[in-house]
């Protein structure tokens, strides 16, 4: 069988979920002919620019405008118009991808972005492709754009996500709440003492990890200053080179600074809690690591919906300011029992077999 795993490289979460699914299938299903494809190179230059540059600009410097766009495409009175216009624009902007799907005649299409799913579903409804379409929703909330007639299966993060789809009219047999695919490195047993030696930190100190995605956004420097006298702080600046240089120069006590990393699982394993942005893939990884989490700098729309979903399980806080962040960290530090209670709640909802369960439907 021919299987396509496809994603959009705008935002790291969609790519990470696609790569995790692809790698699992490659290692465990030798009967499949696999391809991993980013849709953006198939698009016209204008759309590529919007995804590669426009989206990062909005979520970092004009979040109110992104929130407005999100609301307009979600609100019932404007949703129909925005959806129809989006479908038309995307179809003509990604004609190369459309033709690719028709030409390759895949048996299964696994999509981790609503754009790819929308295009594939539209082709299915017109009998241009016969592949079974599996949409992996990479957030705990559900924007209506994720729902497309012609989709055979929705793989979702949680029971709450499933309930949201049911309320949108999706049939229950088309929903599998098996979790967002993640890298197996997050379930690998880690030795804290050895990792602490590797990073040059104290394994016995209460440790807080600050990590806000590939942009390194949010008040990471201010949070570091607030916590440096209370805990050991690991700061991941990612692609924020200015922040990295500034923190390196300041050399704050008890603060270890990192640039872009590819071993987030090791940093999580050596930490007692994490301060991060509520992206769907990040939440999945944090839950797998059973790490108490504090959410900051949520993007209006998909990330605020993620916070609301996790709050219903009682495993997350979203402080309003740095003082509240500090107080919550100190509460965890001074009350180890609370960490144990949070980890128990996390165990009840985490989905450690997401990739395996996704693979089981490809038959």
- Span 157-193, pLDDT tens digits: 999 999 999 999 999 999 999 999 999 999 988 999 9
Q: Provide the pLDDT confidence category of residue 309 given band limits of 50, 70 and 90.
A: confident
Confidence at residue 339, expressed as pLDDT on a 0 to 100 scale: 95
Indicate the pLDDT class of residue 214, thresholds 50, 70 and 90.
Answer: confident
pLDDT range class, residue 147, cuts 50, 70, 90: very high
Q: What is the pLDDT of residue 231?
A: 96
| Residue 165: strand pairing partners | none
Place 259 in a pLDDT band, splitting at 50, 70 and 90: very high
> Is the pLDDT reported for residue 136 higher than 90?
yes
Instruction: With cut-offs at 50, 70 and 90, classify the pLDDT of residue 116.
Output: very high
159/156 Cα distance (integer angstroms) = 8
Contacts of residue 340, Cβ cutoff 8 Å, sequence gap at least 6: none
Phi, psi (degrees; rounded to nearest 5) at 219: -80, 55
DSSP states of 154-213: EE-SSHHHHHHHHHTT--GGGEE-------GGGGS---HHHHHHHHT--TTS-EEEEE-T
Query: What class, spelled out in words, does domain 184-349 have in CATH?
Result: alpha beta
Q: Which of 55-64, 94-103, 108-117, 148-157 has the lowest mean pLDDT?
A: 55-64
Range name among 20-34, 94-108, 203-217 with the lowest pLDDT average: 203-217
Cβ contact 185:209 at 8 Å: no
**pLDDT classification of 196: cutoffs 50, 70, 90:** very high
Comparing C-alpha atoms, which of 211, 255, 250 is closest to residue 230?
Answer: 255
Q: Where in the chain is the domain with CATH 3.40.50.2000?
A: 184-349
Q: Is the pLDDT of residue 60 over 90?
A: no
CATH number of 2-177: 3.40.50
Helix (H) or strand (E) holding 34: strand 33-38
Averaged confidence pLDDT in the chain: 92
pLDDT confidence bin for 97, thresholds 50/70/90: very high
How does residue 86 score in pLDDT terms, banded at 50, 70 and 90? confident
Q: What is the mean pLDDT of residues 99-111?
A: 97
Compute the average pLDDT of residues 334-352: 94
Average pLDDT over residues 239-266: 94
- How much is the average pLDDT of 196-214? 94
CA distance 95 to 34: 22
Mean pLDDT across 337-349: 94
């Amino acid at each position: 069988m021919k299987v396509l795993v496809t994603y959009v490289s705008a935002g790291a979460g969609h790519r990470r979920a696609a790569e995790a699914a692809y790698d699992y299938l490659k290692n465990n299903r030798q009967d499949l002919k696999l391809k991993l494809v980013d849709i953006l190179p198939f698009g016209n230059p204008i759309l590529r620019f919007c995804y590669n540059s426009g989206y990062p600009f909005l979520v970092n410097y004009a979040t109110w405008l992104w929130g407005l766009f999100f609301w307009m495409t979600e609100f019932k009175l404007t949703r129909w118009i925005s959806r129809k216009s989006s479908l038309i624009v995307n179809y003509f902007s990604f004609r190369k991808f459309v033709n690719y799907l028709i030409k390759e005649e895949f048996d299964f299409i696994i999509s981790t972005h609503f754009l790819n799913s929308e295009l594939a579903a539209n082709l299915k409804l017109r009998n241009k492709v016969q592949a079974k379409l599996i949409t992996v929703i990479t957030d705990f909330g559900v924007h209506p754009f994720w729902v497309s007639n012609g989709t055979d299966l929705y793989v979702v993060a949680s029971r709450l996500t499933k309930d949201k789809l049911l309320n949108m009219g999706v049939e229950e047999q088309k929903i599998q709440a098996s979790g967002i695919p993640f890298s197996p490195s997050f379930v690998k047993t880690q030795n804290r003492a050895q990792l602490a030696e590797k990073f040059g930190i104290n394994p016995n100190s209460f440790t807080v990890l600050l990590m806000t995605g590939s942009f390194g956004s949010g008040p990471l420097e201010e949070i570091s200053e607030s916590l440096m006298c209370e805990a050991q702080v690991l700061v991941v600046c990612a692609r924020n080179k200015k922040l990295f240089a500034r923190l390196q120069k300041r050399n704050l006590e008890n603060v270890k600074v990192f640039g872009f990393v590819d071993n987030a699982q090791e940093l999580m394993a050596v930490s007692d809690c994490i301060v991060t942005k509520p992206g769907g893939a990040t939440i999945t990884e944090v839950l797998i690591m059973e790490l108490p989490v504090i959410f900051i700098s949520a993007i209006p729309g998909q990330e605020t919906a993620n916070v609301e979903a996790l709050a219903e399980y009682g495993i997350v806080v979203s402080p309003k300011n740095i003082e509240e962040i500090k107080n919550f960290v100190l509460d965890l530090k001074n009350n180890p029992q609370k960490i144990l209670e949070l980890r128990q709640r996390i165990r009840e909802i985490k989905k450690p077999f997401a990739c395996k369960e996704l693979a089981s439907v490809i038959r």
